[in-house]
Amino acid sequence: MLLNCILEYWPISIQYDINAQCLTANVCVCVCLQGDFPWDEKDFRYLAVTLAGLSSVLVYYYFRDNGREISWKEFVHRYLGRGLVERLEVVNKQYVRVILLPGADSYVWFNIGSVDTLERNLEAAHMELGLEPSRHAVVVYSSESDGSFLMSMFPTLLLIGFLLFSLRRGPMGGGAGGGRNPFSMSESTAKMMKDNIEVKFKDVAGCEEAKVEILEFVNFLKNPQQYQDLGAKIPKGAVLSGPPGTGKTLLAKATAGEANVPFITVNGSEFLEMFVGVGPARVRDMFAMARKNAPCILFIDEIDAVGRKRGGGNFGGQSEQENTLNQLLVEMDGFNTATNVVVLAGTNRPDILDPALMRPGRFDRQIYIGPPDIKGRASIFKVHLRPIKSDPSMDKDALARKMAAATPGFTGADIANVCNEAALIAARHLNPFVQAKHFEQAIERVIGGLEKKTQVLQPSEKKVVAFHEAGHAIVGWFLQNADPLLKVSIIPRGKGLGYAQYLPREQYLYSREQLFDRMCMMLGGRVAEHVFFGRVTTGAQDDLKKVTQSAYAQVVQFGMSEKVGQVSFDLPRQGEMVMEKPYSEATAELIDQEVRDLVERAYAHTLQLIEDKKELVEKVGQRLLEKEVLDKADMLELLGPRPFEEKSTYEDFVEGTGSFEEDTTLPEGLRDWNQERETEEEETKSV
């Protein structure tokens, strides 16, 4: 049975002779089934050797010959009187071991009260037995360990060993599998990436400009002569910044997968420990590793954990983070042009990085990776649609363009989530292929949240929700600068009881009129409640919050208020504590008044529009109560064509932008970035 198990796990040339019951093999192998005993781990070997040594000592003390205990009377009459005693050994001043002449028992022993008493009693026994001085027993004093001390210390040693083993295996020792002891905490936790990275540059889309910048770094390390002939120097480093989910870390993974140079990666938080001096020591060790493996690429993810601006919040004490940053500054500025080490870093908070870190000579380039435009989203959809088993009758390129038009503002991570959700929805209903409707449901899932068909709403509440959403739809339909409506629903999703889905424009600049119409559209639900029910509910809380934020942004940031003037102040970030405002109390009162007037004007305009279109609002509300979901076709049936021109397809959005697809062409110097040119140059010289 054991042999069969061994042969199953180890395909080695082995012959087994059943008749002779012997096993012959070309190679002597110590076989250990996977997962049984990790003999190759150093810590386990140390532990096994220690336990084996302790066990050997304990076994020795347990099974050794302890002799036979006798009394003083028996010793005198049976051994001393008969002349069988060779010598007496007083051990640890506690007992006497009687060494007998050859041929007698091995040895016997007896306890004593004290050495003085033993000597007096022994002298008296000699006189009583009438032994000559030459036949007196020889007394020897010795000290021995009987194992009792070791047995008493064994629990303590066991506890200390367990703690040391835990420290070696725990975070202080480098984490599980780190294998470092507590005294090697200063070693860098940076990892050298191997050839098992599956992400390539073809898997990165929607950020072609940033990809070209990174390709230039890789090309410089592989073909430096192309740049050195013109006197160019390799940039010391680059910071990849941008909102979460835009592909900063993905681009770094692709660099690791494509660059045929060593790629070292580390997280910024790994430099910060509770022990003083660990961070700077790890920085030194990491850059020593980079120099040793040059040319190479060093990637520090989330560098804002260690690169924050110095001088704030230390309360007079030395900051370990500042010391780590200082060491990082020194190491980066210490590189020379011949070292060929490129430092890449990723962060979504470049505003809090120290200026000394961002200066040329350390991070020469700041590469911003923002949310992709409609062409970039189409390219990202094409990447993520490759592994999806879609309907064979459906063109993936056409589907990618359609989904790109329906997902404005989505990042690469959002698009990957949409494709995965579509596949999950199709698998949930046992469909053989992923169809277009599954992608539409996935977009609604990502935007609005989980659909709650089982949530119970009272008829009165459901009617309020229907007319609230109808108010949003009607105001957006008849305002020129409002976004086109795609769908309106009163089925609860996420935290909301209903939602209206719009298709925002691919737009970066907004006028005062456009922002005003958006405010009116957000107020449509609250106004519809007031007009049709004569009361308002808490359902408009999120709408009012967005209206307030938009109004304050127009007055405080965008300078769109005539009374406040052409000034701009920074609004506090969410969760940020504001110690003092950058303007006076009089200006604050003026700002509050301007915001109130702006919101009141938007409310009055929306109220007038709802009253003018009251019949249409009621018609849409009643249809929502019947069908619960209305799409663009239903709205056209109820309201007729929208009185304004609108864009809704991919072709409409990219019209006039110069190209139908994203431009992925590379400059001439980077087209052969993944090919070595030294061989070609040598061949040219030889010819």
pLDDT digits (tens, 9 = 90+) for 80-99: 888 888 888 888 888 888 88
The last residue of one of the domains, among 398, 422, 448, is 448
Average pLDDT, the chain: 80
* Element at 59 (helix H, strand E): helix 42-63
**Strands 107-111 and 95-100, sheet pairing:** antiparallel
Q: Are residues 391 and 299 in the same domain?
A: no
pLDDT tens-place string over residues 367-404: 999 899 888 999 999 999 999 998 888 888 899 998 98
Whether residue 343 sits in one domain with residue 405: no
Instruction: Say how far apart CA 503 and CA 482 lie, in whole Å.
Output: 10
Residue with tokens 């804002």: 304
Catalytic residue list contains 469: yes
pLDDT at residue 512 in the model: 92
Same domain assignment for residues 500 and 607: yes
208: in domain: yes
Q: What are the φ and ψ backbone dihedral angles of 507, each rounded to 5 degrees? A: -140, 140
Pick from 286, 287, 284, 323: nearest CA to 307: 323
Half-sphere exposure of 199 (CA within 13 A, CB side): 13
Give domain status of residue 46, yes or no: no
Q: Are strands 138-142 and 85-91 parallel, antiparallel or unpaired?
A: parallel
Maximum alpha-carbon separation in the chain: 140
| Same domain flag for 483 and 391 | no
How much is the CA Rg of the chain, to the nearest whole Å? 41
Percent of the chain with pLDDT over 70: 81
Single-letter code of the amino acid located at 567: V
497 and 420 in one domain?
no
pLDDT at 17 over 70: no
Q: What is the mean pLDDT of residues 337-344?
A: 74
pTM: 0.69
CB atoms inside a 10 Å sphere around CB 2: 8
Domain boundary, last residue among 303, 336, 368: 368
User: 100: which DSSP letter?
Assistant: E
Q: What is the CATH number for 427?
A: 1.10.8.60
By C-alpha distance, which of 335, 337, 320, 331 is closest to 357? 331
Structure tokens at 32: 């250990």
Mean pLDDT of the 67-85 span: 83
pLDDT reported for residue 6: 34
The strand pair at 191-193 and 138-142 is best described as unpaired
In a shared domain, residues 279 and 361: yes
The per-residue pLDDT for 155 is 80
Return the structure tokens found at 466: 């229907």
- Looking at the fold, whether 524 and 400 belong to one and the same domain comes out as no
Asked if the structure places residue 217 within a domain, the reply is yes
Q: At a CB cut-off of 8 Å and minimum separation 6, what does 283 contact? A: 188, 271, 324, 327, 328, 331
| Residues contacting 85, CB < 8 A, separation 6+ | 79, 98, 99, 100, 101, 137
- Rounded CA-CA distance 91/99 in Å is 12
More confidently predicted of 602 and 482: 602
Distance CA 49, CA 41 (A): 13
pLDDT at 143: 82
Q: Which of 216, 444, 469, 662 does the annotation list as catalytic?
A: 469
- pLDDT (tens digit per residue) in 483-538: 888 888 888 887 778 878 888 877 888 999 999 999 999 999 999 999 999 899 98
Please, which pLDDT band fits residue 38 given cuts at 50, 70 and 90?
very low
Distance from C-alpha of 323 to C-alpha of 331, rounded to nearest angstrom: 12
- Structural domain contains residue 174: no
Q: Identify whether 325 is part of a domain.
A: yes
For residue 443, is it within any domain?
Answer: yes
Q: For residue 421, give its domain range.
A: 374-448
pLDDT band at 334 (very low <50, low <70, confident <90, very high): low
Tell whether 380 and 476 lie within a shared domain. no
Residue 590: count of CB within 10 angstroms of its CB: 17
Lowest-confidence region among 190-194, 559-563, 583-587: 190-194
Last residue of a domain, one of 412, 427, 448: 448
Beta strands in 462-617 (DSSP E): 485-489, 499-502
| Residue 412 in domain | yes
pLDDT band at 147 (very low <50, low <70, confident <90, very high): low
Same domain for 309 and 352? yes
| Region class of 273: left (phi > 0), else alpha (psi between -120 and 50), else beta | beta
Same-domain status, 253 and 381:
no
**Pair 329, 397 in one domain:** no
CATH number of the domain bearing residue 551: 1.20.58.760
The C-alpha atoms of residue 209 and residue 529 are separated, in whole angstroms, by 48
21: in domain? no
Give the tens place of pLDDT for each residue, 463-476. 999 999 999 999 98
Total domains in the fold of the chain: 4
CATH number for the domain spanning 261: value is: 3.40.50.300
Taking residues 403-412, report their average pLDDT.
Answer: 89
Report the alpha-carbon distance of residue 135 to residue 264 in Å, rounded. Answer: 83
Question: Could you tell me how many residues make up the chain?
Answer: 687
Lowest mean pLDDT among 186-190, 575-579, 586-590, 617-621: 575-579
Question: Do 432 and 471 have their domain in common?
Answer: no
pLDDT band at 167 (very low <50, low <70, confident <90, very high): low
pLDDT-based confidence at 574, cuts 50/70/90?
A: low
Cα dihedral 453, 459, 462, 466, rounded to 10, equals: 120
